[in-house]
Amino acid sequence: MRHNQCADIVVAGAGPAGLATGLAAAALGLKTTVIGPRADPADGRTAALFESSVQFLKAIGAWPFLEAKAERLNAIRLVDATGGWLRAPEVTFWASEIGLGAFGYNVPNAALTEALERVSAGRVERIVSAGVTNIAADQRWMLVTTAEGAVFEAALVAGADGRNSFVRQIAGISTTAWRYDQAAVVCSFAHSRPHRGISTELHRRAGPLTVVPMPTNASGNVSSLVWVETPAEAGRLAGLDDAAFLAELSGHLSGLLGTLSQISGRKTFPLSGQTASVLAKDRVALIGEAGHVLPPIGAQGLNLSLRDAATLAELAADAKARGDDIGGLEVCAAYERQRRTDVTARSWTIDLMNRSLLSEYAPVHLARGLGLAALKAIPALRHAVMREGVSPSFATPRLMQRESGGT
């Protein structure tokens, strides 16, 4: 059965990246359909969203529903906990150094998706479905079929259906994937000392251990945790009872957050990376993990995904305003060009940072230490790195710029 109306864009996938793509396109005047199941309301993970991503959420109307559930990130502290003799200096980056009230906010994934779903009502055609089961070209249109048998027409399909993207496979786009001998233990916990909006990343030989501020709740002060270990050690940690787990975590934090308690359910995730050979072709553009998967280091994953969403929406809207084909070669080529540099740079940086911790080669640790020492000693360099990390100079769409979303 063919749907009785055509859309400019059909988005396959209704996680944060997919919903954000639909809302960005709708905000710029494009008729948009978002297809996919509702997200898991029990998802206990959080996402550190940088300032440009917060501006984007303001621009698409989602931030008012999130602000009370998010926690400011005032500073980021890097601590060398490798235990080696070439110990790097501790470095703290303060948002105020570059004129920001905060680097961004730590947001629960479930709250983010709930806010995006709420704002989507009346702005996009939201089809709750098990997913997309086929896409096929029909002259200047793509025919998108759902698991329930409905068919939708669109000039452009945005594949935001995750790392195992069905849309990417049907489009014939290959990937390069790699794995690390690491896994992350993820949870949240309460603590007696205030976090003061400071995210702390302990650089350890097995990988980073990162605690990120969360809003105060009935348990008191709360932070989220991403603890990277070998798969065997991550499995052991996940199997401990709460008291034993908190005791080991407290040992690593060395009193940083005081007495620990009230741990949430722990989950483990293997660390891996993946990039698509092309990010757009033949009326199909890849969004988020359909195009790039990064390990949970440096808080880059969802920020990259939201830049994908904003960029694609703007390119498509600009093409429509010119009277051009929004799914044509020009738009696909521009999307590939504009997103490839950002994705490659972030993937390379995170991979290098992670592998430098795992390396047994002393000069690698020396180089990492010298780099952190330079960041600590040279304010101009530190400020440039902070600005680039929060909002890349070469890849900031209009919807993510400060004037687009207010103050």
Q: What is the pTM of this model?
A: 0.89
The pLDDT assigned to 6 comes to 78
CA separation for the pair 299, 306 (Å, rounded)? 13
Cα angle at 62 between 60 and 65, to 5 degrees?
160
Going by the DSSP 8-state scheme, the letter that residue 315 receives in this structure is H
pLDDT band at 394 (very low <50, low <70, confident <90, very high): low
Q: Does residue 147 surpass a pLDDT of 50?
A: yes
Pairing of strands 267-276, 280-281: unpaired
Q: Does residue 103 surpass a pLDDT of 50?
A: yes
249 or 378, which is more confident? 249
Q: Does residue 82 surpass a pLDDT of 80?
A: no
Considering all CA atoms of the chain, what is the largest pairwise distance in Å, rounded to the nearest integer? Answer: 68
CA 65 to chain centre: 19
pLDDT in tens, 222-267: 999 999 999 999 999 999 999 999 999 999 999 999 999 999 889 9
